[in-house]
Amino acid sequence: MTSRLPKLVAFDLDYTLWDLWIDTHVDPPLRRMGDAVNDVRDRHDQRIAFYRDVPEILHRLREGSVTIAACSRTSAPDLARRALSLLLVPPPAGHKGEAPTPAISFFDEKEIYPGSKIKHFKELHRKTGLPYSEMLFFDDEHRNREVESLGVTFCLVPSGVDDRLFERGLAEWRKRHPVEVAEDAAGNDDVGNTESA
C-alpha cells in the first residue's frame, strides 16, 4: 500500500531542525573540520547539528520527489544559509560508501529572512505554483500556525523534529486530504507523489 506525500514539506530551522537560535547562540565565523558529518562549529566551538532523525527524513523526502523548503524568520539569514552550506548530511541508511551531501542541497526553496511566515508561504506558492493544500509545515513556534489561514497544514514541533513527529505531521496532512489519499490507495497515478509504507 502506498501513502501520498504532500508536494512540499517546509521546515523552520531554529529548534525545529537544530537545537539553537542561529541569530543569538552562534558567533561567526563558522567552520567544519574536514568532512565531519552533521557537525559545524562557531567561533566559540558552539556545535550546530541537525537533530538525530533529520538526515533520514530529508533523504526520504528527496526519494519521494517532494519539494523541501526552509522557512525561517531569523534575523541572521546569511549565517543560517552558511550553516546549511557547511553541514554535511550522511548518506541514507544502506549507502555507507557514498559521500555526504551538503545540507543546503536538500532545500529546493529557501525563505530565510525576518517577517511573517505568511509572507514565506506566499513566496513559496508564487515560486512553485503549488497549492497551499499541498504544503506541510513543521515549526516550533505556535504563532506560526497562522499559515493555516492559507490552507497549509501546520505541525507544532515541541522539541525538534524526529521520526514520530514527522509521521504525526504526515498523518494530519493526510487526514485533511482523505479524497486524494483514497484515490492514491486505489492506484490512481495522477494524484501526486507516492511512497512505500
145, three cell numbers: 500556525
Catalytic residue among 14, 42, 139, 184: 14
126, three cell numbers: 508564487
Task: Provide the pLDDT for residue 179.
Answer: 61
Catalytic residue among 12, 42, 139, 184: 12
pLDDT tier, 16 (very low <50, low <70, confident <90, very high otherwise): very high
Task: Provide the pLDDT for residue 190.
Answer: 47
Task: Provide the pLDDT for residue 196.
Answer: 39
Q: What is the pTM of this model?
A: 0.89
Q: In the annotation, is 12 catalytic?
A: yes
Q: For 37-55, how does the pLDDT look when each residue is reduced to its tens digit (9 = 90+)?
A: 999 999 999 999 999 999 9
Q: In the annotation, is 190 catalytic?
A: no
The fraction of the chain above a pLDDT of 70, given in percent, is 89
Q: Reply yes or no on whether the pLDDT at 148 is more than 80.
A: yes
H/E segment holding residue 179:
helix 178-185
Task: Provide the pLDDT for residue 96.
Answer: 81
Query: Helix/strand/coil (H, E, C) string of 141-193?
Result: CHHHHHHHHHCCEEEECCCCCCHHHHHHHHHHHHHHCHHHHHHHHCCCCCCCC
Residue 173's Cβ-side half-sphere holds a number of Cα atoms within 13 Å equal to: 26
Task: Provide the pLDDT for residue 97.
Answer: 84
C-alpha distances (whole Å) from 133 to each of 63, 136, 137, 166 are 21, 8, 11, 17
77: CB partners within 8 A, 6+ apart: 112, 113, 114
Q: For 18-30, how does the pLDDT look when each residue is reduced to its tens digit (9 = 90+)?
A: 999 999 999 999 9
Task: Provide the pLDDT for residue 10.
Answer: 98
Residues 157, 169: Cα–Cα separation, whole Å: 10
130, three cell numbers: 503549488
Q: Reply yes or no on whether the pLDDT at 186 is more than 60.
A: no
More confident residue, 184 or 124: 124
197, three cell numbers: 509504507
